Structure 1
Amino acid sequence: MHLGAIATYPVKSCHRLEHERADVRLWGLAGDRRWLITDEQGRMLTQREEPRLTQIRPVLAEGALVLRHEGAGELTVPAEPGDLDPVKVWRTTVDLSRAGDEADVWLSTVLERKVRLYYLDDPTRRPVNPEYANPDDRVSLADGYPLLLANTASLAAVNDWLAEECPAEWPLPMTRFRPNVVVEGAPAWAEDGWLGRRIRIGSVTFRAPKPCDRCVITTTDQETGARGREPLRTLARHRNVDQGLLFGLNLIPDGTGEIRVGDQVTVLD
């Protein structure tokens, strides 16, 4: 098995960045989900409510975030601490820095609604769900865990089901599932057997505490923002475990280091 792809998502729910290498930090991959958009009342916005977020293409520059949109050009936002507001990210409330009026206005124009941009200036502020983690585990602004792993053979299995049962939405790309790391060379659904074990990618070791329960974001075309019905209908038929539609495996780093496309992937324990 080897690492086939790496991706980060600088702004939660916006477009991805693809990498040949990435630095693993204890809270996730460097640069992953350090920024968050909220509505005017400070409520977190994701593609669940706003699929147009797919059209915002962030790039990380030296000490800054560059936001790009086809109709609005680009805006550079300094990655600096600012005034802190408490923002609820699922079950946790975390203090985030206001990015400033210019970013708020730019994004509000793009999304045609009043929004705010926030920055997680200190990525050690947010703990991982203690039910599945150690007390000192931390996560950025990802849904719940520092990294998400997916398996190309499992995607091929989903696409086989789609070809038979819903050819109108076949095939689906891996980008629908928004993973950080993609494993190649493993059998389909091998990751089910990795739950509770340790996985080494290159020289970095991770724990696998929980499978990933998928939501409506997987039905959203990550290039256009168009929304369909798959893969949730197919996952509901074939991968429904205790009312969770499973695809992918959450990871928590045990240490730091660099991972590269092509690195060997080994299941330990």
Structure 2
Amino acid sequence: MPTLAELYVYPLKSCRGNAVARALATPTGLLHDREWLLATPEGDFITARSDPQLVSVTAELWPGMVLFSAPGQPPVAALATRYTEHARAKVWGDAFDARHGDARVDAWFSELVGRPCRLLWLGETSQRRREALREPLSFADGYPYLLANRASLAALNAAIAPPVPMRALRPNLVVDGALPWAEDGWRRLRIGEVEFEVASPCTRCVLTTIDPDTARRRTDGEPLKTLARERRYADGVHFGINLVARNAGVLETGARVEIIA
């Protein structure tokens, strides 16, 4: 039976993922996952698609705050209590209320990306609603969870050199012990005490071509080049599956992954 091999939380959208052994799963997503967003002064979201250096940002979670660090810059702390100003956030087609606060943190990120920007906090409760989802959503692209399969990545990497690390695919949940591409046929699954429904395959973009160790795009265009050849569908190229959680509960690495349907 497959098991949950890896768990990742991304406190800031597009930042380096934090590998954890245990996390609280909610219908909105893993606790603290993508609850901070870098945005333009107008509120439009900024990601590593346009600013690859964001994948080098480490976001260390502490009670009530996040400590951000990046190569060549001193760390800076964002305290949630300072984020009280209402601000409009825009993520893809969704516009919703978020929180803005500390100009010092804005300046830190503006220096990192080389243009004016500001940091937004999701707030205690997300105000983002999507018609396809029953629950609020964080600053994630479209769904609360992304699951990837180690065997599928190994199959993909058989045609790629140097191989693409799992971190470049930016999943929340990584399973081991399943057949390559078995996840294509999954519809419902249970991990520990949490039941998930598969919402859709995950269509992949240029973000996957950014090396998480160097924060630079691969010159060979991988893994998109191979995905375009082997995993192309009408809506794009697929790797991984988007999930929604039907209940809250604790996830732990090593937990069994039960395929219900």
Give TM-score, length-normalised by structure 1.
0.92
CA distance in 2, matches of 1:90, 1:126: 12
Out of 161, 177, 189, the position equivalent to 1:185 is 177
Of 223, 234, 241, the match for 1:249: 241
Are the counterparts in 2 of residues 201 and 259 from structure 1 also a CA contact under 8 Å? yes
Distance 1:185 1:225 in 2: 30
Q: In structure 1, what is the equivalent of residue 113 of structure 2? A: 111
**Shift in Å, 1:55:** 1.9
What per-residue deviation string (whole Å, max 9, x for no partner) do you get for residues 43-81 of structure 1? Answer: 210011000111211111011011112211111111134
| C-alpha RMSD of matched pairs (Å) | 1.2
Distance in 1 (alpha carbons) for counterparts of 2:191 and 2:96 = 30
**Matches of 1:128 and 1:42 in 2, distance apart?**
18
Question: Unmatched 5+ residue regions in structure 2?
Answer: none
Q: Deviations over 1:161-217 (max 9, x none)?
A: 22xxxx3xx2110011000000000000000001xx211011110110101000000
- Quote the offset at 1:39 in angstroms: 2.0
What does 1:202-217 correspond to in 2, within 5 Å?
Answer: 202-217=192-207
Aligned partners of 2:142 and 2:131: how far apart in 1?
A: 7
Report the CA distance between 1:7 and its aligned residue: 0.3
Equivalent position amino acid for 2:155 in 1: A
Name the structure 2 match of 1:220: 210
Match of 1:148 in 2: 146
Unmatched runs of 5 consecutive residues or more in structure 1: none
1:92 maps to what in 2? 94
Length-normalised TM-score, structure 2: 0.95
Q: Which SS does the other structure have where 1:235 is aligned? A: helix
Partner Cα distance (1:216, 1:41) in 2 = 24
Per-residue Cα deviation, 1:76-107 (whole angstroms, up to 9, x for no partner): 11113411111111121111100321110111
CA separation in 2, counterparts of 1:30 and 1:244? 29
Sequence identity of aligned pairs in percent? Answer: 39
The SS at the match of 2:32 is: coil
Contact 1:27–1:123 (Cα < 8 Å) also in 2? no
Query: For residues 127 and 31 of structure 1, what CA distance do their matches in structure 2 show?
Result: 18
Q: What is residue 15 of structure 1 aligned with on the other side?
A: 16
CA drift of 1:25 comes to 1.4
Match of 2:158 in 1: 160
CA contact (8 A) 2:128 2:138 kept: yes
Does the alignment pair 1:124 with 2:126? yes
Instruction: Work out the CA distance in 2 between the residues paired with 1:141 and 1:183.
Output: 24
Aligned-partner residue type, residue 59 of structure 1 = E
Whether the 8 Å CA contact 1:123–1:139 is kept in 2: the answer is no
After superposition, give the CA deviation of every residue in 1:93-132 in whole Å (9 maximum; x if it has no partner): 11110032111011112222111000000443212342xx
Q: Secondary structure at the match of 2:217?
A: coil
The equivalent position to 1:258 in structure 2, one of 245, 250, 253, is 250
1:53 aligns with 2:45: no
Aligned partners of 2:73 and 2:88: how far apart in 1? 29
What is the CA-CA distance between 1:243 and the residue it aligns to? Answer: 4.1
Note if contact 1:77-1:103 (Cα within 8 Å) is conserved in structure 2: yes
2:75 alignment partner AA: E
Q: Following the alignment from structure 1 to structure 2, what is the Cα–Cα distance between the partners of residues 57 and 92?
A: 26
The separation in 2 between residues aligned to 1:258 and 1:159, in whole angstroms, is 31
Which segments of structure 1 move beyond 3 Å, counting only runs of 4 or more?
A: none
8 A Cα contact 2:148 2:175, kept in partner: yes
1:234 to 222, 226, 231: 226
1:16 shift after superposition: 1.0
Deviates more, 1:71-80 or 1:256-265: 71-80
Report the count of equivalent residues: 257
1:111, 1:242 → 2: CA distance? 34
